[in-house]
A and B are shown apart, each in its own frame.
Chain A
Amino acid sequence: MGAHISIPMYQRAVAQRYRLVGQKCTKCGKINFPPKAVCKYCQAGNEFENVSLSGKGKIYSKTVIAGGGAPPEFAEEAKCKGSYPVAIVELDEGPRIIAQLVNPPEEGYSIGMPVEAVFRKIYEEEGVIRYGFKFRMAAQSV
């Protein structure tokens, strides 16, 4: 089985994965994340300025991936933890993104709750640890 995302492919998106770098369309001013060649909002602009997103947002939808629903590269994590939470987060700057949640509160959490991005290990493939963003509940301490 080949790697799901090769090291060079991963490396090309390091700005997004490590620093949440989005693109501000010079035509309509809206922010695209992940990057597009043509702005997804005005569908016309193709020049952008890089902007780092705050990483703050709200849960737009959520699920919990159990062993049976985990991709093989996350199988070990699913086996270890039993399951792990995944959410779509609507960032304050507008774009939505999908990521794992870390340390979900025991008392539960729901759509609409504020979250913030954290830098975490995503998984390991081809012997290399891949880092990227996950989210935690906004009020939670480190």
Chain B
Amino acid sequence: MEGVAIIGAGQTKYGDYPNKGVKELFAEAYLEMLQSIDQGLEPQQIQAAYIGCLSSGSGFQLGQLAPLLMGHVGLPNVNAVRIENACASGGYALYNAACAVASGKYDLVIAAGVEKMRDVSSSKGRYWLGVSGDTEYERLAGSTFAGIYALMAARYMYDYGMKREHLSMVAVKNHRNAVANPKAQFRKEITMEQALKGVPVAHPFNVWDCSPTTDGAAVVLLCNAKLAKDFTDKPVYLRGFGAASDYLAIHDRNSITSLAATRKAAAEAYKQAGVGPKDINFAEVHDCFTIAEIMAYGDLGFCEEGRGHILLEEGYTRPDGKLPVNASGGLKAKGHPIGATGCGMAVEIFKQLRDEAQEPSRQIKNARFALSHNVGGSGGTAAVFVYQRGDE
């Protein structure tokens, strides 16, 4: 298997873009990615593009989104394909791009994601946001994803003694982290009091426990590791990549306080990278709802199952803690443009591992290994990546 490196990365600021559609958002991220390649690159060298997107631009383009986007940036003839696994679409685009380079088939491949969510009416938005789960039963119980994650949170509280306040600690931490991130959607702190008292969504969640709707795009360029130093002295190596699925419906799973898909994907990524959870210096994890970050701590091996809330309470995952998690602000505050999210995590890690986090206050120092974790829906799919800095 060939080694895989990231040599360029770019993304739009996440947020609300009334004047930009998927094409414009994608182009902005793509051009920023090109500019980030230290020695430059002739774009025609790019051979393939895997582009994550759930709704294909709020549904206006049902099929063949990827060639539409690549044609928009002057590369109409690369092998372009859309990848869809709900909120993990970006992660699966990265996974498939990494496999394409690792196989030796291609040397230069785009992994990207884009989502246009803010054009959609709130009614249509809620229609869309539940139809990547088990639509025949979960949805007929009157539940969207917020309700499904709320059921996980309630059981986690019951089994492990987690309190409501622990959920809010995730929201407060991630909002604080987003303040210094110029790419984040919500760059404002919230207090614990605010986080506990938002508008109810699905008990125990209020609006502060939920990730927002977001427009945005993210693009990374993967390269055969042997060629990476032709393009930059500071590549970031993708040492391990894992992906796994689970039953789509929450009622079909053995455990609802852990995501089996995450566990299997993480085991695969760690094994390939030859490292373990203790080697990871910082991580970007899938906090679509506050409970998701708490469950991820256990599923990624940062603590034992059922102790995620304790890790949080101890400050272990704060920027000044032993293992900063979601220093970007996470899905919660950086934003969650569904198909872009998994690639946006890779953009953040690329910048951090090259000491280019823009605002000095948010630069994570002396990091060698990082991890990203992207989940589809309530855990029907998950992809996990281990990165290593390349300038040592």
Binding site for B on A (CB under 8 A): 1, 4-5, 9, 13, 17, 34, 40, 60-66, 68-72, 74-75, 77-78, 83-84, 86-88, 95-100, 111, 122-123, 130, 132
Contacts and interface: CB of A to CB of B under 8 A. Distances in A.
Contact of B251 (A17, A69, A98): A98
Given A5-B140, A34-B137, A65-B143, 10 more contacts: A61-B154, A63-B150, A63-B154, A65-B147, A66-B201, A66-B203, A78-B142, A83-B203, A86-B142, A111-B155
B147 A96 contact: no
A62 B142 contact: no
Interface residues of B, number: 38
Contacts of B142: 65, 70-71, 74, 77-78, 84, 86, 100, 123
8 contacts: A62-B151, A63-B150, A66-B202, A69-B205, A72-B123, A83-B200, A95-B251, A100-B141
B138 A61 contact: no
B155 A4 contact: no
A141 B142 CA distance: 24
Given A40-B247, A71-B130, A132 B140 contact: yes
Contacts, number: 121
A97 B130 contact: no
Contacts of B123: 1, 72, 75
Contacts of A65: 142-143, 146-147, 202
A62 B148 CA distance: 9
B136 A71 contact: no
Interface of B: 123-124, 126-127, 130-131, 135-144, 146-147, 150-152, 154-155, 158, 199-205, 207, 247, 249-252, 256
B355 to A, nearest CB: 41
Given A4-B131, A65-B202, A71 B144 contact: yes
A69 B209 CA distance: 12
Contacts of A98: 137-138, 141, 143, 151, 249-251
A132 B136 CA distance: 12
Query: Considering residues A40, A86, A87, which has the most beta carbons from chain B within 10 angstroms of its beta carbon?
Result: A86
Contacts of B256: 60-61, 88
Contact of B199 (A9, A34, A68): A68
Contacts of A132: 140
A88 B257 CA distance: 13
Given A84-B142, A98-B143, A68 B201 contact: yes
